[in-house]
Amino acid sequence: MTDFSGGCDHVHVTAQGEPIDNHVCHCNVCKNVTGQHTTHVAFYAHDHIQIDHPELLNRQPFNADNPDGPLELCTCKECGAAVLLDDKEGRIRVAVPNVMGYDDAAFPKATYHAFYDSSKGYDKPDDGRPVYEGLRPDFVWPEGRA
């Protein structure tokens, strides 16, 4: 099993094994948060991403248009670096390799495109990976905390 390290100088994050979902995201929330046209996003089972100093995390809603939604953007209290997305329901934790301190070149490559919307006015990706309007059809959310 391969582990991938991310985070910042103050908060170290370890993603254990392969992601349960690994895609290039085209959603507006990712665009707003990262400033990128598309974003490589990897979902891990919640307990497969470990954080060495959770007390050093600031938490804010990931989606400004849905502040009560389940995902929180966790940033370092010391330096402000984005460290991970955490799911308040305990289902997943999310790594964004090129934003959250991972070695993007060594990280598993995204396997498909998610949340592509032809009405946004840019060409449909044609890099050989499947393109979906949401998450891949066979994706199943893991069980969360009771």
Q: What is the pLDDT of residues 36-74, one digit of tens each?
A: 999 999 999 999 999 999 999 999 999 989 999 999 999
At position 4, the amino acid (one-letter code) is F
Q: What is the pLDDT of residues 93-130, one digit of tens each?
A: 999 999 999 998 999 999 999 999 999 889 999 999 99
The domain spanning residue 54 has which CATH number? 3.90.1590.10
In a domain, 130, yes or no: no
In a domain, 21, yes or no: yes
In a domain, 109, yes or no: yes
DSSP conformation class of 58: E
CA 138 – CA 14 distance, rounded (Å): 26
In a domain, 138, yes or no: no
Q: How many domains does the chain have?
A: 1
Mean pLDDT across the chain: 95
What domain range includes position 51?
3-120
In a domain, 65, yes or no: yes
In a domain, 125, yes or no: no
